[in-house]
Structures are given as C-alpha cells and as structure tokens.
Amino acid sequence: MTQYLLAVHHAEGDAYTSDEEMQQAFADTDAFNQKIISEGSWVFGGGLTAPSDATVVDATKGEALVTDGPFAETKEQLGGFWIVEAPDLDAALEIAKRGSAACRQPVEVRPFQAE
C-alpha cells in the first residue's frame, strides 16, 4: 500500500454560507473520517487553525529566523489533511472525492516519496 497526503485547500473569504452549513460539513467530515477508519485507509489526519496562527522558522542560512504568519502570501492555504493508505492513485482519488464532498473544499492528492 502507498501512503497519500490528501490536502484540504481553503480559499480566503470562501466561508460556509451559514453556521448550519458549516456544522453539517463538520458532521459529514466526521462521518467520512469514521468510514475511512473502518475501511482501513486512515493513517492520520487533522484540521488546522487559521493561517494567521502560523509561525515560520527559516534556518536555511545559518541562524534561525522566526516570523509570525504563514510562509506563503496567498489567498489559498492548507486547511487540513488526511494521510491515507491506498493500493494505487485511483483508489486514493476515490477517497479524496468523498473527502472533498464531506468537507466541501477542494482536496489535493499527493503520494509520499518512495523510501
């Protein structure tokens, strides 16, 4: 089995239309999580706080520089993720389709590098 990162993208200003829609998306995502756990695909996953909560550490030039805020200045940020195991990319894409429908956000699928 190959492990894949299913990255949930959230665009700035792309909020749910109502609190009810947001709560339903949370419930649907929880149901999706339980389903992929029962199917044996789940490895790990979680939602992230707002990009404004980020701290960037850059030690690429020697002494570490620590700055507040997200690394990338962009309107789209990572909102959460799943790490799943699937036999191939097609199976991972099917899982991602269900995850995207549940959380109501686009989901990017990327395999982990071979060891």
- For the chain (length 115 residues), average pLDDT per consecutive 10? 90 78 93 97 92 90 90 79 97 97 94 87
Confidence at residue 35, expressed as pLDDT on a 0 to 100 scale: 97
Domain ranges of the chain: 2-111
32: tokens are: 């999706």
β-pair type (76-86, 42-47): antiparallel
Total Cβ atoms within 10 A of residue 84 = 25
Confidence at residue 22, expressed as pLDDT on a 0 to 100 scale: 86
Give the Cα separation of 91 and 93 in Å (integer). Answer: 5
Alpha helices, DSSP H only, in the chain?
19-39, 89-103
22: tokens are: 């947001």
Helix (H, G, I), strand (E, B) or coil at 84: strand
Total-model pTM: 0.85
Kindly tell me the sign of the dihedral angle through the C-alpha atoms of 10, 15, 16, 20.
positive
Q: Which CATH architecture has domain 2-111?
A: 2-Layer Sandwich (3.30)
